[in-house]
Chains A and B, each alone.
Chain A
Amino acid sequence: MIFPILSFIVATPALAALLLVFLPDEAKTAIRAISVAASAVALAGSIYVAQAVMALGPAQFHFHERYPIIPSLGINYIMAVDGWGASLMLLTGLIIFAGSVASTTLENRPREFYIFLLGLVAGVFGVFVAQDLFVFFLFYEIAVLPMYLLIGIWGSTGKVESKGPFAWAMNQLDVGGKEYAAMKLTLVLLGGSALILAAMLGMYFAGGHTFDMGELAKASIPPNLQWWLFPALWIGFGALAGLFPFHTWSPDGHAAAPTAVSMLHAGVLMKLGAFGVLRVGMVLLPYGARDWAFTVGTVAVINILWGAMSAMAQKDLKYIIAYSSVSHMGVVLLGAATLTVNGWNGAMFQMFAHGIMTGLFFALVGLIYDRTHDRWIPHMGGFANIMPFIAVFFTIGGLSSLGMPGTAGFVAEFLVFLGAWQGPHAWWAVPGAVGALITAVYVLRGIKDIFWGAGPPPQFAALPDARGAERVALVVLGTALIVFGVWPRLILDLIDAATPLYLSAIVATQAAGVTP
């Protein structure tokens, strides 16, 4: 029997969390060391898996594991990984390593924080390698729930200007408060998972009483059933990917979450949603994908523009980044909706690129907030004079965000817009590109307002730059952003080989005529 490397990677954070349960609160150094070590092991494991998959052929599944859980119902524990899964595992490994390093400065109950954080990480890794729909769902839920506690306990409460006809209701609900954000996030995402569960059972019973994704792909689920199941998956998973109009949990949640959690959530968890739409929704329900592609793409375009314009209107630093995530996740969904090889490559690459970029952003925002205890941009200015290191990396992240050539963001957006142009609705590329333009406006303006201009306000004059462990996180992510921008083949080769196979089922449906 070969070594179950995938289960090992999933189990490492979970076991580390279990270990932490038995450590005393006072052993803070040991707690941090164990957490960072566990995420380093997970990162090393995912790097190994990525290169092994590359060498063995990214179009096939490798490292199979299969154990029955409930044989009489066809529920199995199946793990395997191909190029798509490997690329996102690599992303998760990078983000969680950077995130747990960046959290070593946390002083408030670090033990419990790391327990929940590592539990969350185990869930995320699990989703990317699960090849049984049921296990996929299991890990998906695991990845969602710890968020409630992580945000509710360690989050921060921001200031929201309640304006307009709903101002009263917003004040009543404590919009912007961390507990409001935590509850909203949990309910929206689990509401989505209720839809996923229903669709999943539909696939199970129509696909011959199996949750095995390989068999479900071969099973012929009736097209008119697919027409009903696909939107359930699209909205259910989409809620986590920031799909308009179910995205409003994301700015609140990301703004309220502590640094490592917003890094992980915006960087990886939103990708879980988009990955679910692609891998489960589109690949397993090709007819549904074909019939709903126009709706998916059009809503994705709205996502891009709506997110970008909302970001432009914000003055709270975290809300800007959070809304930019909504906009960028729109790019992923747009790429998926094009149903072209370039579009899907772009979608997968955008997940990777945006994950690293947002991880970097939220790490930086966390550093700034730790120092200033303020997220309000008008209070800031000239920070480049006191924290040049942070300024440099913020600029790198910003340039990638607006799709500057030479950064990973450019490759992703280019591929998606290329795919859109080749797809059936070429006009999607136009609002997509306009979104990139608006991004340039708010990103550059934000950088200018925070870092440039006349020196820092007096109350912030003595703030230190990034230090030791914090720099490690920034360097890891910033370097990745440039390396994958200059040399995208490192990841694209992993993705590209698997894409045509996934797409082939949908291509076959194009010839099959209209759903009755």
Chain B
Amino acid sequence: MTFPAIVNLFPFAADIVVLVGILAILVLDLLLPHGDKRVLGGLTILTLVVAFAVSLFYPMNGEAWGGAYVGTPMALFFKRIFYVGGILGTLGVRQQAITEFTRRQGEYFALILVSVFGMSLLPGVRDAILLVVAFETMGIPLYVLSAYARDDKKAVEGALKLYLVGAASSATMLFGLSLLFGLAGSTSLVAIAQHAGAHPSPLAMVGTVLVLGGMGFKIGVFPFHMWVPDTYEGSRTPFIAFLSAAPKVAGFALLLQLLLPAGGALLHLTLPVLMTAAVMTLFVGNFFAIRQSNVKRLLAYSGVAHVGFLLLALATGTELGIASLMFYSAGYLFTNMGAFLVVHAVATAGGDDSVESFNGLFRRSGWLSLAMLCFLLSLAGIPFVVGFWAKLFVFMAIWQAGYPALVLLGAGLSVLALFYYLRVVRAMFMTTPKSDAHITVDFATNAAIALCLAGVVGVGLYPTPVFEAARLAAIGVLGP
């Protein structure tokens, strides 16, 4: 029995699981007494694990909603990243949600799921309207979540920044999309790209750049990166672990859907802008990270630098480049979430977010210090952790696309980056702590860190399956 494409829901098999989870949590939140609400965190994780399992065993290919959504291997790859990110994020925030937001924790978890739901639609969108809807479904819960600690002025300030930037970015993106729609006369991303490819015009370029700018806010591209460190510093760390990884990857997943159709027509149109932004982002991220004394700000700027690498991979516009971007995203998710969760664990144990609070971490918790060492090395791109492969694939793609000078630049800046990562390593291993008190971490956070570490080291030792999945998913994405 075949369904008309408009009601074909098979490409959404995993998303439906998430939707059911959201509804279940919202209903249970009303029914459960306060003392029992802690099961909701477990339910969130269960939902995401089931969704992840569905995405593993069920390909979810095909068109839906009249071609507004297309399930592709690439969409599947990104969905898996988002589900894993959701699982790790929920594990990370669980303890805080239970203790700090005891009465409101149900909504907290539901909002995370809504955000993940929005993200997982993004890599399959083929229509500007669905694009905006999914983008906001992802974004709006994040504003709420970042302001969840409503009595904490710093957190609210960070949330306000995130909200204002988010609103501005949505407006910019919508304006750009309206220009593109006006030119092509269709909301289909493919039609827009085909039109721009056939009739390249300054207006098409302006429209695309505005959309890119709108997304650039979200993923923290120069010159729209200023909010990143402030928000990271102000907001709750476990939430930042989630915010700094999954939505960024989602932003790139969306960029791919916008720029790749019709043989990468819009990509070629905006290549100079993309390249300039990528190189500037690399520079700004790396150079501003050097002087940071707050680890969260340091990781924020390092995240900006990593976005530069991802943009470079995107700008190559080759299948290898796209595959390397996808691999990089997966690796970055594990690495960055792990690093932020260790920061959280250290700060919870009587410290703050400064580099000094990492002093002598090695003597206080060998496990946390070794995990953090692996995360930092992965961020720096040292062998046998995933970050090395990620950078290597990006460099290969850049060289293949004909920019050897950029490889040299990127490799040089990676060495510079090592300098500020090693400052944290130095604090952990070569200084004496203020107190020798052993750090104990709650089970869920520990589990999240362990999973991140498993991802970082596991994929670092044997990158083949993940890379092959990314490579196969990238074949043919540039279209005819």
Contacts and interface: CB of A to CB of B under 8 A. Distances in A.
Interface of A: 69-70, 72-73, 112, 138-139, 141-142, 145, 148-149, 152-153, 179, 183, 186-187, 190-191, 194-195, 197-198, 201-202, 204-205
B227 interface: no
Given A191-B412, A194-B415, A205-B400, A145 B407 contact: no
B407 A191 contact: no
Contact of B404 (A69, A190, A198): A198
Given A142-B383, A201-B407, A194 B425 contact: no
Given A141-B382, A152-B429, A205-B400, A194 B414 contact: yes
A153 B429 contact: yes
Contacts of A153: 429-430
Given A70-B463, A141-B383, A183-B419, A197 B430 contact: no
Nearest to B398: A201
Given A142-B383, A201-B396, A179 B463 contact: no
A190 B415 contact: yes
B464 A69 contact: yes
Given A149-B429, A152-B426, A198-B408, A186 B399 contact: no
A42 to B, nearest CB: 19
Interface residues on B, range: 20 to 34
Contacts of B382: 141, 145
A198 B383 contact: no
Interface string B401-413: 0001001100110
A187 B415 contact: yes
A183 B467 CA distance: 33
Contacts of A183: 419, 422, 426
B100 interface: no
With a 10 A CB-CB cut-off, give which of B411, B419, B471 has the most chain A CB atoms: B411
Closest 5 CB pairs of A and B: A194-B411, A201-B399, A138-B383, A152-B430, A191-B415
With a 10 A CB-CB cut-off, give which of B399, B407, B422 has the most chain A CB atoms: B422
Nearest to A141: B383
Contacts of A138: 383-384, 388
Contacts of A204: 396, 399
Contacts of B468: 70, 72
With a 10 A CB-CB cut-off, give which of A112, A149, A198 has the most chain B CB atoms: A198
B418 interface: yes
A112 B399 CA distance: 39
B340 interface: no
B74 interface: no
A186 B408 contact: no
21 contacts: A70-B468, A73-B396, A112-B362, A141-B388, A149-B429, A179-B426, A183-B422, A186-B418, A187-B419, A190-B418, A191-B412, A191-B415, A197-B392, A197-B395, A197-B407, A197-B411, A198-B399, A198-B404, A201-B395, A201-B396, A201-B404
Contacts of A141: 382-383, 388
B384 A142 contact: yes
Nearest to A189: B415
Interface string B71-91: 000000000000000000000
Nearest to A197: B411
B383 to A, nearest CB: 5
Nearest to A119: B384
A125 to B, nearest CB: 15
Nearest to B411: A194
A73 to B, nearest CB: 7
A74 to B, nearest CB: 10
Contact of B412 (A69, A152, A194, A201): A194
B467 A70 contact: yes
B55 to A, nearest CB: 23
B404 A202 contact: yes
A73 B419 CA distance: 30
Contacts of B408: 194-195, 198
B411 A198 contact: yes
Contacts of B467: 70, 72
Given A70-B463, A205-B400, A198 B407 contact: yes
B382 to A, nearest CB: 6
B160 to A, nearest CB: 39
B377 interface: yes
B425 A148 contact: yes
Given A139-B383, A205-B399, 19 more contacts: A70-B463, A72-B467, A141-B383, A145-B377, A145-B382, A149-B429, A152-B426, A153-B429, A153-B430, A183-B422, A186-B422, A187-B415, A195-B408, A197-B411, A198-B407, A201-B396, A202-B399, A204-B396, A204-B399
Contacts of B430: 152-153, 179
A201 B377 CA distance: 22
